[in-house]
Structure 1
């Protein structure tokens, strides 16, 4: 930002300098050239009057001396001819006396009593010259003609010096403006950089270095003060929410467990006709417990500021598929893993396991006996930096309207026949987004639902990896980890 401000100031200053100095230099050059030509023309007329008088008095012997003296004082080249065009004097001595010059256009014009002037190349002076040719006449009688050539370098060097002075002044102004603009830009951007640093700290979860509220322009000071107040309030709210997420699990789990035990203790003393109501009450308590765990899991995800890390997708998929084989076998459902070996993807720690657990739990609840759950890994089409994990079932699937609402918290399809909480897919979505990816629901080929999780590859492969053999895990034994009982993620959700 400092460089942009500095460039803005310098660009504006340069524009002003160009608008001022270029017209001034142009006008100055035009004025100098006009004065130069006017002076040369006037000097030629004056010399012609003096020489015409000498010729009239037949004192032509004095002409070469006058011409030489004039040329020495003015630095020009003077040629004088009589009324017949014959050379009387040449200040440079390059032409012999008596040479007929009447055939030259400017001399012929002057002998007809008309003056001419032009800028042209002069071989005698060795460059561009201003040439003025005037008649020496009394009335209509022309007695001689005078040609004076002045080197243009006399005025161009002066104009060049003026341009150098203007350039030096412009550079000096730019240098002064650079110093002033640099100090001003730093004064303006220092609080902005402090705000940027503080914002990055706040995004990471803790503001340890708040921006100063007494630096920079008044507007930025007020902005910094408002940011500090907002950040302080936000940190307080985040700490309160984090404390709630940490403490609510224990505080809510204990009474729910006690309530379930008390309900189960009623069973020996109830009339058999009330047994159904008791089972429903116990089921609602269990559902409430799962819902509390899901809400706490979402709260922890929203509070956490974990950075995605490289995670071996192939290993996680194989591990979770093996773990869920026992549950799938109880319902006579197979689990198949297909697709190429991808390697590492970016995900927050533990996210892949929870994503696959939730999606497999949902799919397993709606899969009829004798069907197959498919875990398919494939590179994302059109994006070499992404990979797709498909969890496909052969259940009833979902309509387009249901798929659009499936990620809403607590939403469940009206035809759902299981006791899900409506939090499984929102948790999957939150985990995918926190890992820098996304999750979408699509119709599965041949019926059912295809849950697609897109994640960033830890590195972009140069070549397509080799394909893994299709594996069916429907009869593979597995042991459910004991930590699932205390997991904040509900791992037995159905489709919502």
Structure 2
């Protein structure tokens, strides 16, 4: 912002300088040439009058000395011709005495009593010259013609020196204005930079250095005050939500555990016909407990600023596949791992394990015996608007699959397919999406080519990321670990068919 303000300020000043200095320089060059031409013409006319007088008194022999004296005094070359255009004297000795120049345009015009002033290129003079040709006579008869030639080099050098002085003055003005503009721009943008730092701190989860409200323009001071008020309120709301989630976690676990124990104590005293109702009640209690744990885990994820880290994707996939193989064997379902190796992706600590556990749990619920679940890792190009390449994790089952409408609603909280069993909570896929997005990725559900469902988790490749790895705090790791252990336990119980 400082650079833009400074550039706009300098552009305006430069435009003003050009509008003033360029016309002035052009006017000065033209006026100097006009003044010089007028002085040369006046001098040539005076010399022509003197030459005429000399010729009238029969003193033509004095013309060479007169011409040389005038040439030395004015720095010009002087040529005098008679009434027929024949050269009488030439200080430059370019035209020999007695040579007829009446055919030359300026001499011809002067013989017709018409003075001529102009410029032309003269290699012998080293560039442009100014020539003045005037008749010497006060009546219709022109007894002689005088031509004076001046080199324009000194005049051109003087004009160039003036242009250089104007350029130096302009650069000096620009430098002064740039210094003043830089100071002003820094003073204007200082509150904006403070707001930027405060916004970055707020994005990290806590505002420790609020922007000052007594510096900068009035508009920015009011903006800083409003931002501080909003940030303080947001922090209070986040703290209240975190406290609520923590309190609910403790307040709900105790009555749920107590209620489960009381229901289990009824079992020896119930008639056999009521045993089925007790089993269903215990199953609903287990489902309610998992639902509460899932909601609390989602609340912690939404309220925690967990930074992503570089994770070895294929190592995590192999580890989770080995753990779930035993559960899959109980249902006569195989787990196959394929795809790229040594792929590192960005994910929050413990997120990949929870994502794979939830997706494998869902796949096992719908996979018929004799089928296989495929875990495939595929490198993919970056999406539109992304500069880093992506990596895809596909969890493919051979179950009944989902319709397009069901796939669109699958990530809604508490939503379950109409033909799903009553053991699920409807929070697994929402948690998968939350964890994936926390690492900068995305998850989608598509129909598998051979039937079934393909859960595609797209994650950013860590090798092409330009930022350094962000270490997570111990609290974040502990939170992720507790959520992972709870999810694995509940998912494994569901895979075994337990209530």
Shared fold by TM > 0.5?
yes
The answer to whether structure 1 residue 341 and structure 2 residue 341 are counterparts is yes
- The structure 1 residue matched to 2:430, chosen from 426, 432, 454, is 426
* Structure 1 residue 171 displacement after superposition: 1.1
Residue in structure 1 matched with residue 132 of structure 2 by the alignment: 132
* Structure 1 residue 13 displacement after superposition: 1.5
**In the alignment, is the contact (CA less than 8 A) between 1:409 and 1:426 conserved in 2?**
yes
* Structure 1 residue 94 displacement after superposition: 5.5
Residue in structure 2 matched with residue 35 of structure 1 by the alignment: 35
Report the 3-state secondary structure (helix = DSSP H, G, I; strand = E; otherwise coil) of the residue aligned with 1:142. coil
Residue in structure 2 matched with residue 3 of structure 1 by the alignment: 3
* Structure 1 residue 483 displacement after superposition: 9.2
The answer to whether structure 1 residue 398 and structure 2 residue 407 are counterparts is no
Task: Tell me how far apart the structure 1 counterparts of residues 340 and 176 of structure 2 sit (CA, whole Å).
Answer: 64
Could you tell which deviates more after superposition, 86-95 or 278-287?
86-95
Residue in structure 1 matched with residue 245 of structure 2 by the alignment: 245
Report the 3-state secondary structure (helix = DSSP H, G, I; strand = E; otherwise coil) of the residue aligned with 2:374. strand
Task: Tell me how far apart the structure 2 counterparts of residues 482 and 428 of structure 1 sit (CA, whole Å).
Answer: 16
**In the alignment, is the contact (CA less than 8 A) between 2:80 and 2:145 conserved in 1?**
yes
* Structure 1 residue 150 displacement after superposition: 1.7
Residue in structure 1 matched with residue 223 of structure 2 by the alignment: 223
Using a 3 Å threshold, how does the CA distance of structure 1 residues 318 and 150 change in structure 2: closer, same or farther?
Answer: same
Residue in structure 2 matched with residue 444 of structure 1 by the alignment: 448
The answer to whether structure 1 residue 297 and structure 2 residue 300 are counterparts is no
Query: What root-mean-square deviation, in Å, do the aligned CA atoms of Structure 1 and Structure 2 show?
Result: 2.6
Report the 3-state secondary structure (helix = DSSP H, G, I; strand = E; otherwise coil) of the residue aligned with 1:25. helix
Instruction: List runs of 5+ in structure 2 lacking aligned partners.
Output: 466-480
- The structure 2 residue matched to 1:458, chosen from 459, 462, 471, is 462
Show CA shifts across 1:283-331 (max 9, x none): 3222221111111111111122222222222222122112112222222
Bigger fraction of residues in helix: 2
Residue in structure 2 matched with residue 359 of structure 1 by the alignment: 359
Using a 3 Å threshold, how does the CA distance of structure 1 residues 94 and 344 change in structure 2: closer, same or farther?
Answer: closer
The answer to whether structure 1 residue 170 and structure 2 residue 170 are counterparts is yes
Residue in structure 2 matched with residue 151 of structure 1 by the alignment: 151
Show CA shifts across 1:105-132 (max 9, x none): 4223322333323211345544321111
Residue in structure 2 matched with residue 473 of structure 1 by the alignment: none
Task: Tell me how far apart the structure 2 counterparts of residues 282 and 181 of structure 1 sit (CA, whole Å).
Answer: 75
Residue in structure 2 matched with residue 471 of structure 1 by the alignment: none
Using a 3 Å threshold, how does the CA distance of structure 1 residues 43 and 490 change in structure 2: closer, same or farther?
Answer: farther
Residue in structure 1 matched with residue 471 of structure 2 by the alignment: none
- The structure 2 residue matched to 1:411, chosen from 412, 415, 419, is 415
Using a 3 Å threshold, how does the CA distance of structure 1 residues 160 and 356 change in structure 2: closer, same or farther?
Answer: same
**In the alignment, is the contact (CA less than 8 A) between 1:358 and 1:490 conserved in 2?**
no
Task: Tell me how far apart the structure 2 counterparts of residues 382 and 436 of structure 1 sit (CA, whole Å).
Answer: 12
TM superposition score normalised by structure 2: 0.88
Task: Tell me how far apart the structure 1 counterparts of residues 252 and 489 of structure 2 sit (CA, whole Å).
Answer: 16
Task: Tell me how far apart the structure 2 counterparts of residues 36 and 485 of structure 1 sit (CA, whole Å).
Answer: 98
TM superposition score normalised by structure 1: 0.88
Using a 3 Å threshold, how does the CA distance of structure 1 residues 485 and 154 change in structure 2: closer, same or farther?
Answer: closer
* Structure 1 residue 427 displacement after superposition: 0.5
**In the alignment, is the contact (CA less than 8 A) between 1:83 and 1:143 conserved in 2?**
yes
Task: Tell me how far apart the structure 2 counterparts of residues 121 and 361 of structure 1 sit (CA, whole Å).
Answer: 95
